[in-house]
Structure 1
Amino acid sequence: MFDPDYDLFVAIVEAGSISAAARVRGLSTPALSKRLARLEERLGVRLAQRTTRRLALTPAGQDLFDTLMPLRAALSAAEDRIAGRHAGVSGPLRLTAPTSFGRMHVVPCLPAFVARWPEVDLAIDLSDEFVDLLDGRYDLAIRIGARIGAGLVGHRLGTSSRVLCAAPAYLAAFGEPQALGELSRHRLLATTSQLPWQLDGPEGTVLQQGTSAIRTNSSEVVRELALGGCGIALRSLWDVADALAAGTLCRVLPDYCGSQDVGVFAVHAPGAPTRVATLIDHLRAHIEIAALLPEVG
């Protein structure tokens, strides 16, 4: 790619923490921490405030990351063009993605992909169901979680930062919790598989037990219920940032957020054809990564 230390810096930011990047790269956390410190010393500036679990970019770090991302995408595209790696990319490619994330972030990337590689027979299904990638029905899945699944190959596209939030009408009717323990007295909203919530806060990582006030298997339903004043939800910033900015949702217990180990992954079975790698490269270059990064500052 480019300078190995820049490559490492981008990998750490995309993973959301030094420890998460170390797991992805198969290296030790102290080794990656030393490499990041070496880059900071070389540049003469602090790039990030960090622990092993969380990362917050400084203004200089954010500037460097914003500069490196388009350079990396341009370099990758140039290498592909010169080496002719994508010549003759064709054949069937069936993609599955979570409903909300797919609609908001994956589907908008696809017209450019289809225009560039018209010989790929692309099909996409949006579903919050966890599909089996080893049975051959799908070539690639976008998954949001802390793990990609045994026997699969995963490519991390970004970190899915999540916050607790509720509508102003709910908070006016039931009050705003001031401590984590008060959540047990509130109406929680989650899909059937989401609870207990794993939260990072001042005391480290905690599990918030509970039962969803309304049962559903749809992440989009949870979002709409939260907007409708039905309870408190743990939602990804890529999903609710606009609602938070507009005031139709309010952040609750701002000292807590969803575990930063949760990432957005492109996942496939081993031995995937070239067209799968081509689509992954395209998604990595075009998905709005800024929407997936942890909050900074």
Structure 2
Amino acid sequence: MMDPDHELFVTVADEGGLAAAGRRLHISPAMMSKRLARLEQRLGAKLVHRTTRRLSLTPAGERLHADLRAILAALDEAERRVSGASAMAAGPLRISAPTSFGRMHLAPYLQRFLDDHPAVDLSIDLSDDYSDLLDGRFDLALRISADLGPALAARRLATNRRILCAAPAYLDAHGTPRRIADLKAHRLLAARGQMPWRLVGPKGPVTVDGQSHVRTNSSELVRELSLAGGGIALRSLWDIAEALERGQVRQILPDHEGSFDVGLYAVHLPQANPPRALTAFIEFLVTLYCPAPPWERAVLP
């Protein structure tokens, strides 16, 4: 059995604050603060920085939190080996996902996971900002990227297919490009940081550079502009498949797509014995998106 003050500290770190941790443990904020101070005094190290608005771990606190989470995972694995059966997925699970993707392709299915794993205390943040797993106290993040870096464990769930597309109204008014070079004469739409477009065609990689017809930091705004006939966009198939199926946009230059290096990944910090809640959620994601994600089925070859 782990020291109660260690468990208290892990809960504080997982919840990101004394008040939230106290509610989960049914302990008053005053007693939470007292016990945390007692642990810091006993260890001779400051574990958290406290302000009126937020709580963050010190480097010593981050090391202790990682070590204690590994111990808890090892204890869970030991119990599973002794019992001869998989322990039930339980406890807190913090997930980060991109805003539009999470709303469209994660949220509609979450109740299925919660029904199968009622003891999991699920928390999900949707944001298009880069989510640092340590700083944000996330157990797992969904990322759409070509480069995840070497420090994370990752499960590739799907290739992020991206196609060039435009609304019929735009193509009727401005014509349909027949070659990549024709794009120079058209209105291109992209959020800040999304250009140049790196495409793959029959002759290999192709780069399309230019300036967006409307400058914006919002990929969702680009999507709506393209649906309204504002120009040509390079859109992820998960984002545009329904509009494509309804005829609200048409694919152009179908022999060119975004680089296949970009994929949808489930990423987490490497752990020898990850918590059952984490592995259960990854298994759930695999059932959703593998071997072919739903947005690719019956839409494009």
What TM-score results when the alignment is normalised by the length of structure 2?
0.66
Aligned counterpart, 1:34: none
Distance 1:286 1:84, change over 3 A: farther
Alpha carbons of structure 1 residues 151 and 225: separation in structure 2 relative to 1, 3 Å: same
Counterpart CA distance in 2 for 1:218 and 1:280 is 29
Instruction: Give the aligned partner of residue 206 of structure 1.
Output: 206
> Is 2:161–2:260's contact at 8 Å kept on the other side of the alignment?
yes
User: Which shifted more, 268-277 or 257-266?
Assistant: 268-277
User: CA contact under 8 A between 1:93 and 1:276: conserved in structure 2?
Assistant: yes
Unpaired stretches in structure 2, ≥5 consecutive residues: 1-82
- SS of the equivalent of 2:191 reads coil
1:291 to 270, 283, 294: 294
SS in 2 for 1:131: coil
- Matched residues in 1 for 2:93 and 2:141: separation? 11
Letter in 1 for 2:186: H
Separation of aligned partners in 1, 2:119 and 2:169: 51
- In structure 1, the partner of 2:280 is 278
Q: Which residue of 2 aligns with 1:97?
A: 97
- Which letter does structure 2 place at the counterpart of 1:275? A
AA at the equivalent of 2:181: G
Q: Which runs of 5+ in 1 are unaligned?
A: 1-81
Please say if residues 163 and 236 of structure 1, whose CA atoms lie closer than 8 Å, have aligned partners that are also in contact.
yes
Between the aligned partners of 2:236 and 2:204, the Cα distance in structure 1 is: 20
Instruction: String of CA shifts for 1:47-105, please: whole Å, max 9, x gaps.
Output: xxxxxxxxxxxxxxxxxxxxxxxxxxxxxxxxxxx9633x2322221111112221121
Which one is further off, 211-220 or 169-178?
A: 211-220
Separation in 2, partners of 1:270, 1:240: 33
Letter matched to residue 235 of structure 2 = R
Structure 1 contact 160–292 (Cα < 8 Å) conserved: no
Q: Deviations over 1:16-49 (max 9, x none)?
A: xxxxxxxxxxxxxxxxxxxxxxxxxxxxxxxxxx
Change (3 A) 1:169 1:103: same
Deviations 1:191-233 (A, max 9, x none): 2222111101021011211222223333322211110111111
Aligned to 1:172: 172
Distance in 2 (alpha carbons) for counterparts of 1:227 and 1:216: 16
Percent pairwise identity: 52
Match of 2:186 in 1: 186
**What count of residue pairs does the alignment treat as equivalent?**
215
Q: Which has the larger radius of gyration?
A: 2
- Give the alignment's TM-score, normalised by structure 1: 0.66
What is the rounded CA distance, in whole Å, between the counterparts of 1:290 and 1:268 in structure 2? 21
Taking only aligned residues, the RMSD between alpha carbons, in angstroms, comes to: 2.2
Mark the CA change 1:208 to 1:83 in structure 2 (over 3 Å): closer, same or farther.
Answer: farther
Report the 3-state secondary structure (helix = DSSP H, G, I; strand = E; otherwise coil) of the residue aligned with 1:135.
helix
